[in-house]
Amino acid sequence: MTTNAKGAVFLVAAVGTLGAAAGPEPAEHYWPHWRGPLASGAAPHAQPPVEWSETRNVRWKVELPGEGLSTPIVWDDLVFVTTAVPIDKPLEPRAGAPAAAPARRLPAVEQPRQAQAFQVLAYARDTGTPRWKTTVREEFPHEGTHQDGSFASASPLTDGERLYAFFGSRGLYCLDMSGAVVWEKDLGQMSTKLGFGEGSSPALHGDALVVNWDHEGQSFIVVLDKRTGSERWRQARDETTTWATPLVVRHGGRTHVVTGATNRVRSYDLDSGRVLWQAPGLTQNVIPSPVSGDGLVYLTSGFRGNALFAVRLSAAEGDLSGEPGIAWRYDQDTPYVPSPLLYAGGLYFLKSNSAILTRLDASTGERDFTGRIEGLENVYASPVGAGGRVYVVSREGKAAVLGAGRTLEVLAVNALDDGFDASPAIVGDDLYLRGRRYLYRVGEARTAAGS
């Protein structure tokens, strides 16, 4: 699911995962969580390459164990990924876990066949050499996932001092930067819609960790102290399964925790848990994560319908239905799995899970273009932006590099020997691409003197 879900759940990879407010230095120079340092998909200080292949501009490539659709994160000299590795152990689902079989069996849902080792991996950023591996839990999952999903779809996150890895029903873990577990938190067992699996990532703001737990049981949102894992507050939610990562944004002296969902869009006060405002809900199977900039929050989804609107935070209070709280709306070509990209004055998003890209003026909602990215087909990963360019990677291993602007300008279409559902990370001059089999560092080749 990488998220962020797939099938509906498909992925959350694209899952996945985190909404934190714009980070202070040096966070803006790294990729500390799902959707990057600004929680928008943009890397403000990066200049990744335009062209690459298996024989050009691949700095390193390592094979990954198991399966995972979470975004890699990067901090200092380390790259972190999460994964679930099948193991031959006679383990059973935990007592009291929800029934594995959904009310209606779908061919797209794969039931668990064996126990899994849930792992956090660290690689050297310069060489790709494995630094450490921590298995945080071994368990037989109580339910399966969509065939395009995985048991490791939520993206990890870091504040540079601790690393936080979320495996949903298998727990939330705080590790130090050498891989030792500091604390762990069991939030229960999810029962997801049609057994599609899990995928929402946590959000981190200051010393608060936010986890949204929407499923077919009693849904809730909870804020934890990042230092200890202790609960600060928890609020019940009237929602079925969603896979969108919450967005935390500071505006007008308040810190908003914004959640996209089917019944209602809501903003909670980070300190108290009080609902600050709520707006009409999105479509079914909400996967895309909200993004925010210049006082607006953008929410979208696109399964069995099209929903996209911008909330004006300065006027957001109580129940919102139109102006001035809702700045503008758009009802075409919205994404199912991929989250939108907010970059260089534009809001970029894909139609469903296809390579049809739309750019809207982020301030007005006016459409600049809708067009097909030739050379790409199916897309679960969320687009990212850096260096005046937009990067879109596909399930077939292709990657389009576009000029960021009001026209659809394809600069290059690149290919690697893998398929990509996880969203890219961008740091410095490099792209970090997590495929189904490999983790790539893509960057311009350098001379010995410039290395």
The Cα angle at residue 247 between residues 243 and 251, in degrees rounded to 5 = 160
Task: Look at residue 232 and tell me whether its pLDDT is greater than 90.
Answer: yes
Residue with tokens 């000299």: 77
pLDDT at 25 exceeding the cut of 80: no
Q: What is the pLDDT of residues 121-133, one digit of tens each?
A: 999 999 999 999 9
Residue 21 domain-assigned?
no
Instruction: State residue 11's pLDDT score.
Output: 39
pLDDT score of 305 more than 50: yes
Q: How confident is the model at residue 23 (pLDDT cuts 50, 70, 90)?
A: very low
- Is residue 11 one of the residues assigned to a domain? no
- Tell me the CB-side half-sphere exposure of residue 250, using CA atoms within 13 A: 10
Rounded Cα gap, residues 102 and 108, in angstroms: 12
Say what the pLDDT of residue 97 is: 66
Q: Is residue 104 part of a domain?
A: yes
Question: What pLDDT does residue 450 have?
Answer: 42
Q: In the structure encoding, which two tokens stand for residue 30, read together?
A: 């790294």
- Rounded to two decimals, what is the model's pTM? 0.93
Number of domains within the chain: 1
Give the C-alpha distances (Å, rounded to integers) separating 420 from 172, 190, 211, 356: 25, 26, 26, 17
Question: 327: helix, coil or strand?
Answer: strand
CB 287 within 8 A of CB 244: yes
109 lies in some domain? yes
Nearest to 274 by CA among 303, 234, 312: 234
Residue 257 sits at the vertex; the CA angle it makes with 263 and 214, to the nearest 5 degrees, is 40
Dist CA 441 CA 61 (whole Å)? 6
Q: What is the DSSP string of 363-410?
A: TT--EEEEEE-TT--B--SPPEEETTEEEEE-TTSEEEEEE-SSS-EE
The average confidence (pLDDT) of the chain is 92
| Residue with tokens 């152990």, as numbered in its chain | 89
Average pLDDT for 306-312: 98
What one-character DSSP code corresponds to residue 356?
E
Mention every residue, 6+ apart, whose C-beta is less than 8 A from residue 95. Answer: none
Using alpha carbons, list the distances in angstroms from residue 221 to 280, 435, 449.
18, 31, 51
Q: How far apart are the first and last CA of the chain?
A: 37
% residues pLDDT > 90 (the chain)? 88
Judge whether 13 lies within some domain: no
For every residue of 114-177, DSSP letters joined together read: SEEEEEEEEEETTT--EEEEEEEEEE--SS-EETT--S--SPPEE-SSEEEEE-GGG-EEEEET
For residue 445, the model assigns a pLDDT of 78
Question: What residue numbers bound the domain in which 295 lies?
Answer: 27-443
Residue 73 domain flag: yes
> Does residue 9 belong to any structural domain of this protein?
no
In this structure, are residues 70 and 154 in contact, taking their beta carbons and an 8 Å threshold? yes
Q: Give the integer Cα–Cα distance in Å for 213 and 196.
A: 15
Query: What does the pLDDT look like over 410-447, one tens digit per residue?
Result: 999 999 999 999 999 999 999 999 999 999 999 997 64
Domain contains 273 = yes
* Local confidence band at 94 (pLDDT 50, 70, 90 cut-offs): confident
Cα torsion 310, 311, 313, 317 to 10°: value is 170
CA distances in angstroms from 199 to 202, 266, 289, 394, listed in the order given: 10, 19, 11, 19
Q: What percent of the chain has pLDDT over 70?
A: 91
Is the pLDDT confidence value at 313 over 50? yes
> What CATH number is attached to the domain comprising 149?
2.130.10.10
User: Given a cut of 60, is residue 20 above it in pLDDT?
Assistant: no
| pLDDT for the residue 118 | 98
The residue whose two tokens read 């994560």 is 289
Does 101 score more than 70 pLDDT? no
pLDDT confidence tier of residue 5, bands split at 50, 70 and 90: very low
What's the pLDDT tens digit per position in 247-293?
Answer: 999 999 999 999 999 999 999 999 999 999 999 999 999 999 999 99
pLDDT, tens digit, for every residue of 153-193? Answer: 999 999 999 999 999 999 999 999 999 999 999 999 999 99
At 158 the pLDDT is 98
What is the tens place of the pLDDT at every residue in 398-409?
999 999 999 999
- The string of pLDDT tens digits covering residues 323-349 is 999 999 999 999 999 999 999 999 999
Backbone CA torsion sign across 27, 30, 34, 37: positive
- Whether the predicted pLDDT of 102 surpasses 70: no
Q: Which helix (H) or strand (E) holds 318?
A: strand 318-319
